[in-house]
Structure 1
Amino acid sequence: MPSAADSPAPDQGLPQRPRRADAQRNYERLLATAREVFRERGADAPLDDIARRAGIGNATMYRHFPTRRELIIAVYADEVTALCSQGETLLKNESPAAALFDWLRAFIAHVAAKRELALAIPNDQGGQRSALFDHWHKAMHTTASTLLTHAQSRGTVDADLDVSDLLTLANGIAVASSDSDQADRCLQLLRRAIAP
């Protein structure tokens, strides 16, 4: 399954040196803190506040993430990677239908909570934003397709269901629902509708 971690980086094409252990810890701390701050205050939160909350100097932050754009890309890519990894784990641990709908619930929560973050990535002349979005969409599509095919092979969901249609319905639930309770009710209606 493609990983969002493999997504084109802002400096794509350049070889990446492995980070020292302390640099890796700083990178991960900044990423985790940025995720929290963006969730609380939006993607336009001051970068200095992120560095301060992480307990890391501004210079260190800008070495890892020279621009807001690169930080937002890193945070969003990390979220997509986690979502796709969850799909891989669910394949191993759940019944096929439960795995599919547990992942769709996570997908709906992701779209509802992270849509603004993804849209905050500035467009660029070279088309990198489009390439990133395409890569992330393909990763999520592949995850959903694997879970759907597995459920279909066990006869637990409609064999004629197309993964693109399923993701369109789930995306509609995420965007149109007023809260997580309504999203859950809509997901249950979808589950009943696609039962074989």
Structure 2
Amino acid sequence: MARSLRADAQANHERLLDVAARVFAREGADTSLKTIAAEAGVGIGTLYRRFPTREDLIEATYRNETTRLCESAPRLLERHPPVEAFEVWMESFVDYMLTKQGMSDALPAILATRDGLRLHSRQALGEAVGTLLAAGVAAGRLRSDSSASDVLMALGGITLISGHEHQRALASRLISLLLDGLAARPLPD
């Protein structure tokens, strides 16, 4: 059983992961770990105590960002109507993928060597999308013939296209089109 961290150590851990996500998205996986530590306001020794290798930090950042995104779905539904919650979540998904792209050189090797990490991430993301889709269907706002897998594939495509074009605003426009395509159709007379 893992030991729980002191409050200050836990805060440092979380801050390191938050900063790492931003820095990896901005500068890529080869960025200086000293830069991450400095931006997090901790010494490099603190970073290495928590994450002995660059790969450990990348994996922890990936896990943290995936968990954060997936856990946001039910909270968004508490604060927003289903379609609006889904749109906010999709925008967050694009940002998540941009962070992942920043780690893209190192992430495939990490995913290949960490048992079940890729599958776990896909399942968690599918469950989050499924939760949002089900809420939209129950409210009569989204099509009942849509699958979480199809939505994730579409979002992946949106992220690739907008990332390749370096146009974050393009992703938002394409998300709007995707939501229009997911909208419930009126029953024929």
TM-score range, shorter chain: 0.7 to 0.9
1:40 corresponds to which of 26, 38, 41 = 26
- Which 4+ runs in 1 deviate beyond 6 A? none
TM-score norm. by structure 1 comes to 0.81
User: Kindly, what percent of the aligned residue pairs are identical?
Assistant: 37
Report deviation, 1:25: 2.9
Report the counterpart of residue 94 of structure 1 in structure 2.
80
Greater mean alpha carbon deviation, residues 26-35 or residues 163-172: 26-35
76, 89, 96: which one pairs with 1:110? Answer: 96
**Deviation string for 1:37-62 (max 9, x for gaps)?**
32332111122332344343333321
Residues 1:190 and 1:69: Cα distance change in structure 2 (over 3 Å): same
- Is 1:66 matched with 2:49? no
Match of 1:143 in 2: 128
Structure 2 segments unaligned to the other structure (5+ residues)? 185-189
- TM-superposed CA distance for 1:188, in Å, is 1.6
Secondary structure of the corresponding residue to residue 12 of structure 2: helix
Counterpart Cα distance in 2 of 1:54 and 1:116: 18
Name the amino acid aligned to 1:189. Answer: L
Q: CA RMSD in A?
A: 2.2
Change in Cα spacing, 1:48 to 1:134, as seen in structure 2 (3 Å) is same
Contiguous gaps of at least 5 residues in structure 1: 1-14
| Matched residues, number | 181
Match of 1:7 in 2: none
Match of 1:163 in 2: 148
Match of 2:187 in 1: none
Alpha-carbon offset, residue 102 of structure 1:
2.0
Residue 179 of structure 2 is matched in structure 1 by 191
Contact 2:83-2:141 within 8 A present in 1 as well: yes
Query: Cα 1:171–1:67, aligned 2, differ >3 Å: closer, same or farther?
Result: same
Q: Counterpart of 1:18?
A: 4
- 1:130 shift after superposition: 5.2
Q: Is the 8 A contact 2:29 2:104 kept in 1?
A: no
Deviations 1:118-143 (A, max 9, x none): 5523626x954351121112111100
Give 1:75's aligned residue.
61
3-state SS, counterpart of residue 88 of structure 1: helix
Higher relative contact order (CA 8 A, sep 6+): 1
Q: Distance in 1 between matches of 2:103 and 2:183?
A: 34
Instruction: From the superposition, tell whether residues 25 and 191 of structure 1 become closer, same or farther in structure 2 (CA, over 3 Å).
Output: closer
Distance 1:103 1:16 in 2: 31
